[in-house]
Structures are given as structure tokens and as C-alpha cells.
Amino acid sequence: QHRTIRVWLKRDSGQYWPSIYHTMSSPCSAMAYHHDSRRIFVGQDNGAIMEFHISEDFNKMNFVKTYPAHQNRVSAITFCLTSEWVVSTGHDKCISWMCTRSGSMLGRHYFTSWASCLQYDYETQHAFVGDYSGQITLLKLEQNTCSVITTLKGHEGSITSLWWDPVQRLLFSGASDHSIIMWDIGGRKGRTLLLQGHHDKVQAICYIQLTRQLVSCSADGGIAVWNMDISREEAPQWLESDSCQKCEQPFFWNIKQMWDTKTIGLRQHHCRKCGQAVCGKCSTKRSSYPIMGFEFQVRVCDSCFESIKDEDRTSLATFHEGKHNISHMSMDISRGLMVTCGSDRIVKIWDMTPVVGCSLATGFSSR
């Protein structure tokens, strides 16, 4: 936010020092780095994206060009080397794609809400855009136009992070409703899995395809590592009813049944395991149910509580404390390293190999 971009190098002493310190014209809001070509794209609050080229020794940064991508803050950027496109989303409610050779705008598509995050399939040119209304839009980008393939709705809060795995064709989304949803884009009729283990908004996610693990970070500093290499159950759709589906007592809006039975209407709740609409008296229990993604205790009806065995409550994720309000996260999967940036203006580098596994198959080396 103080308009600087820095490149940190690890010295022989083990400490990191900024080798480059470049001041921008506007606060920085998004960044994409392409390792092979050493090109860096920085989005700003004023809507512009600036491209730089980093020298081989990482001690010099040369300005290349400015892209007039948006009319408001840039929220996410990705760069595709094969097509020479820079694709970005912004708070002007649009996705734009520009040619890096000419610097010219190729196309734009507008949404009804601020576009908050972006993932891109480089082979098929499909873009996934999350927005503040809680929707995810799947777009097919062409040279000068695009088409909307589908819209995914499942979150109750704004989308804060997305991760696309092109191998298994899985999309993961994190949101301000503290939850993560796995969308099976490749098949199984749009199967979705809900993961709830954070107590604040999910700020960043990364799926490790080799070990079938999902790493997620939240605003309260929580870091979760989810085991996705098991058969999980889908959370049921919540059923609607005018009366409790267990004891048949009317809910408070069911005036007719209240009048007929001379009873006071009850508040409606939902069992997280079966999805039935139940009253408070029929759902007095709470239980975790990790196979359905509920890592902490949630409301279940009394009959479902009896059906849950002790082994069903065994956690399928590990939880760690980041000890700062995590706002961004990036993983170097090949080395098992993770970087988190906090609202406390601290950057932390984590060795994740003890948690995400170390073996020759993953390419991780234990240190």
C-alpha cells in the first residue's frame, strides 16, 4: 500500500535483504511473476498494470510498459506466455485481457459485482472469476470476444480466493463465509464438496496435486492442510418445509397449522448431515463430521447424531497457527516452501515439508 515493490535475496548469512526497491505511482494491489521469463506484472489501485523485467542476478528491474487494464483497483493478474496475454480482474466489475506484444486491449467482460479473484486454464483459455456477490463465472476467452460457459453458486459470502487444478479439473474456492468449496468441473455432474474448518474468511488456497492435499489460510492466522485423497461425502441441500420434518410441529410462519393445532410456531434449523428442516428440540446435539467437511461441531438432528460413530469424528485435516493475520499466500510446491504476507506488514517463509509430506515422488527434500 505504500507503493513499493521489492525483490528480496537470501544472503550467505541466511537473512533476506531487499536487492531492489522500486516506488510505483499508485498503491500496489495485485502481482504476477513469470519465473522462466523473469517478467513481473504489478496491478495498482488506479487500474493500471505495469510490467517489469528482472535481471538474471535479481539486482535490477527494468520497466517494460504500462497496460491501461481497468478503471479501478486491479484485484488479480495472470500472464500466459504462449498467447502473450495478460489477463486481469478489477473493482470496475470486469475481466480484461491485453496483448503484451502491442500493449493493446483485446477484450473485456463485465459482471454485476466487483471481480475479486481469478484463475486461468492456459491450454483451453478458460477463465474462472470470483466476485463479491459470491458467484464464480466460467468464461471462454477468444482473441477479441468471450462467452459465458456457466455460473457457480454455493457460497454465502464474497469469493476471496480461487485455485484451479487442470490435471484433475478441480476448482477450489474460498470465501468470506469461512468455507471452501471443491467444484468438480471435469465430471461427476458438477459434484461439490464443502470444507469448513476456519473461523474467519479464507484468504488463500493452494491444491497440491501430487499429494492430494489442499492448503488454506484464513484472516485469523489459521493454516489448514486438508487430506483430499479420501472419499468424501457431499453436504446435502437444505430442505424447505413449513413444519419440522421430525416432530411435525409448525414453524413460526405457518399460521394455518399454528391456528389449527393451537400451538406457537418454532424456529427453523437444518441438520448439516441429512439437510432436513428441524426444530430446536429435534436437534439438540452438535457434532463434527469431517468426511462431509465439518471439522468443528455443527448442528445435527438427534437421529443423525446417533448414527455418527466415534471414528467418523476423526479429523481429516491438520491445523496450524500462522501467528499473523494472513492476507496473501503463495506456495513453491517443488520445494515445499510457503510464503505468507500479513496485515502486520510481515512476510513469513514456511517449510511445509513436514506437513505436506516429503518423498522422491513429490520432489520434496527434507531439511
Q: Is the pLDDT of residue 186 over 90?
A: no
The pLDDT value recorded for residue 44 is: 96
Q: Is the pLDDT of residue 79 over 70?
A: yes
Note whether 82 and 124 are within 8 A (CB): no
Mean pLDDT of all residues belonging to the chain: 90
The pLDDT value recorded for residue 359 is: 44
Mean pLDDT of 182-189: 76
Q: Is the pLDDT of residue 41 over 60?
A: yes
Q: How confident is the model at residue 360 (pLDDT cuts 50, 70, 90)?
A: very low
The pLDDT value recorded for residue 170 is: 92
Note whether 155 and 134 are within 8 A (CB): yes
Q: Which of 191, 196, 192, 190 is nearest to 174 (CA)?
A: 196
Q: For residues 54 and 43, what is the distance between their CA atoms, to the nearest angstrom? A: 17
The pLDDT value recorded for residue 188 is: 53
Q: For residues 27 and 47, what is the distance between their CA atoms, to the nearest angstrom? A: 10
The percent of residues in the chain predicted with pLDDT above 90, rounded, is 64
The pLDDT value recorded for residue 364 is: 45
Q: What domains appear along the chain, each with residue ranges and CATH number?
A: 4-234+315-356 (2.130.10.10), 255-313 (3.30.40.10)
pLDDT in tens, 192-237: 899 999 999 999 999 998 889 999 999 999 999 999 988 888 888 8
Q: Is the pLDDT of residue 94 over 70?
A: yes
Mean pLDDT of 82-88: 95
Q: Is the pLDDT of residue 112 over 60?
A: yes
**Phi/psi of residue 353, nearest 5 degrees:** -60, -35
Q: How many CB atoms lie within 10 A of CB 327?
A: 16
For the entire predicted model, the pTM comes to: 0.87
Mean pLDDT of 127-134: 96
Q: Which of 111, 33, 31 is nearest to 96 (CA)?
A: 111
Q: Is the pLDDT of residue 367 over 60?
A: no
Cell, residue 170: 478441480
Using a 10 angstrom Cβ sphere, with 0-12 exposed, 13-18 middle and 19 or more buried, the burial of residue 144 is exposed
pLDDT in tens, 273-282: 999 999 989 9
The pLDDT value recorded for residue 250 is: 83
Q: How confident is the model at residue 361 (pLDDT cuts 50, 70, 90)?
A: very low
Q: How confident is the model at residue 189 (pLDDT cuts 50, 70, 90)?
A: low
Q: How confident is the model at residue 118 (pLDDT cuts 50, 70, 90)?
A: very high
Q: How confident is the model at residue 262 (pLDDT cuts 50, 70, 90)?
A: confident
Which of 61-75, 240-254, 333-347 has the highest average model confidence (pLDDT)?
61-75
Note whether 42 and 49 are within 8 A (CB): yes
Q: Residue for cell digits 502486520?
A: 344
Q: Cβ contacts of residue 353 below 8 Å, gap of 6+?
A: 336, 364, 365, 366, 367
Mean pLDDT of 250-279: 84
Mean pLDDT of 126-140: 95
pLDDT in tens, 243-252: 898 898 888 7
